[in-house]
Structures are given as C-alpha cells and as structure tokens.
Amino acid sequence: MRSAFIRAITALAERDERVHLIVGDLGFGVVENFAQRFPKQFLNAGVAEQNMTGVAAGMALSGKIAFTYSIANFPILRCLEQIRNDVCYHRANVKIVAVGGGLAYGSLGSTHHATEDIAIMRALPRMVVVAPGDPMEAEAATEAIASHSGPCYLRLGRAGEASVHQEKIDFQLGKAIQVRDGKDFTLVSTGGLLETAVQLAEYFRHTGLRARVLSMHTVKPIDSDAILAAARETRAIFTLEEHSLIGGLGGAVAEVLAEAGTPGTVFKKFGLPSEFSSVIGTQEYIRAKYGLSVVALTAAIRSTLKNEPTFSVTTAG
C-alpha cells in the first residue's frame, strides 16, 4: 500500500503544484523520487510531529493540499492537539497519512502498533477516516482524499499486501465496495483484513454458505446504506478489523444497526482487545495470537452460526 500511495501522490503532484508532502524524518526508502522530482513540494519537518502538523495546517490555509506522512502512531497521537485545533477546527485541507496501521510494525512493540487510531480519528469533527483494503484501493483513496476539501486520515498497511481487486474499482469516499455477493451472511472488513475476508468467504462457499464481502474502506462517513442492506438481505454480519474492538469499524457498524433498530440480525465484532500487546513478532504471528488468522476466524464464525437454528454449517471439503 505504501508504494501505491507514493505512486498516486507523485502523479497528483505532477499535475497539481498545490500538492505538498511533509514527512517526519522517515520514509527515505520510498520518498526520494518524490523529493527529487518536486523539491518545492517536499519538506522534511524532522522528528517534530506537532510542528509538522502545524506547518501543514498553515500551508493548507494558504491554498495548498498538504499531506503529512509518518509511521503508525507518530503522525496522529504525538500531534493530536494540533490535528484537532489547527486542522479540524479550521477545516484545513490536510491529509494525514499513517503507514503501518494495526500490527504492521509488530516486532517493534506497542509503541509502534496503531490500534486505537481509527477510534480517535473518528471522534474528531470534520475528519474523514479511510483505511483501504489493498494497493488498488490505496491508490484510489489517495486521489479521492486529495480531491476532498477538508481534513482526512489515510491509514495504510506497510508493504507487500496482496492485491484483492482484479478489475478496476469504483472508489468513492463513504461508499463500501462489494467484493463478493452473498445472501447468507456478510463480512465487513476495513484495512488489511480484506484479503482475510475473501479467504473466509471462499472457505464457507464450500460449506454451502454464500458470504457477502464488503470492503468498508471509509469508516467515517460510514456507508449506512450498505450495512442496512446487509442486515435486510443476509442473516448475520461480522466485522473484521486490525484495531481495538472499541470505537473502530465494529463500533461504527453497531451504531448503524442499533439506531436503525434492525431486528433478527446476528452481529459479532472481530478485532483486537483493548490492551497493550505483550506479544512481539511478525504481523501474521500477532494476528494469530489475537484470533485474527483465517483459521481462528473460521472457527469463531462457524461456532456463531451453529448456534443459529436457521443456519446449516458443514465442513468444507
């Protein structure tokens, strides 16, 4: 996703001199080409995220489209006051890009795990929150937030994510992408668990159950229509996110369902517990420890469906 973002912002900067990239003294395995091609549209603010955000807000209020860029929590939590008061309050055209959402920097420990970011960004007035599911969505999301007038948060994976979409997508902020259709239950994912959702749907297809898969790349504003359609047309909804179970995608979907008063819909959230991880290792290793592997999620969903008398679940061949 990181490379897809750089491709997209480079193309944007080439045709629009208002596009500026401000980094917090990192990313130099990725951003050199941009810096060399557009030296007047690039700034290294140093390890000073509050200053980086304040500079971006000032540039935005002077007519620029300012992208800030850093890893995991650094462009968010270190400078939350500046994001709230300088960017959101003034509706500044700042796009905050965090690379390594969730557990992507798993081996570096909790300080580098971005697991509360969606909840925090969702709570900020005027902030659009986007977590693309694969590189194609990441590239489209970069273009979409650049066109949007106002604050945006773009949560990316790190590198090496699989391309889930094989054909051109219709990417619109606030509108989910239906990756697979199904009438039995719905898997709603955000961020890097989209590939996992598709793998789960493929497994259950062999058991005779058709799962709808929604890529909810925009968590704020959430696509209420897609959620309520899933509640009407399928019998269960499961949310998948590499984020705390508090305040993220699952919470947003639950709010929609509760406020609409949807009767008879089975609903369950899958994500991370609200705790600092004591587990260190690769992203895949920590996902498995917290029940977010394909194997663990398959068992949990099967168990939930077996308790519902309207479902008949067999073992995939």
Query: Per-residue pLDDT averaged across 128-138, rounded?
Result: 97
pLDDT value of residue 312:
65
Helix (H) or strand (E) holding 51: helix 49-61
pLDDT band at 30 (very low <50, low <70, confident <90, very high): confident
Domain ranges of the chain: 2-156, 177-306
pLDDT value of residue 26:
86
List % helix, strand, coil for the chain (3-state, nearest 5). 40, 20, 40
Q: Please give the Cα distance from 87 to 93 (Å, whole number).
A: 8
Instruction: Compute the mean pLDDT over every residue in the chain, rounded to the nearest whole number.
Output: 95
**Architecture field, domain 2-156:** 3-Layer(aba) Sandwich (3.40)
Query: Per-residue pLDDT averaged across 19-35, rounded?
Result: 91
Q: Please give the Cα distance from 196 to 125 (Å, whole number).
A: 31
Query: Per-residue pLDDT averaged across 25-52, rounded?
Result: 93
Class level of CATH domain 177-306: alpha beta
SS3 111: helix
> Could you tell me the CA-to-CA distances from 227 to 33, 200, 258, 307 in Å, in that order?
41, 19, 11, 23
Q: What is the pLDDT of residues 243-267, one digit of tens each?
A: 999 999 999 999 999 999 988 889 9
2-156 and 177-306, same CATH topology = yes
Query: Per-residue pLDDT averaged across 129-143, rounded?
Result: 98
pLDDT value of residue 137:
98
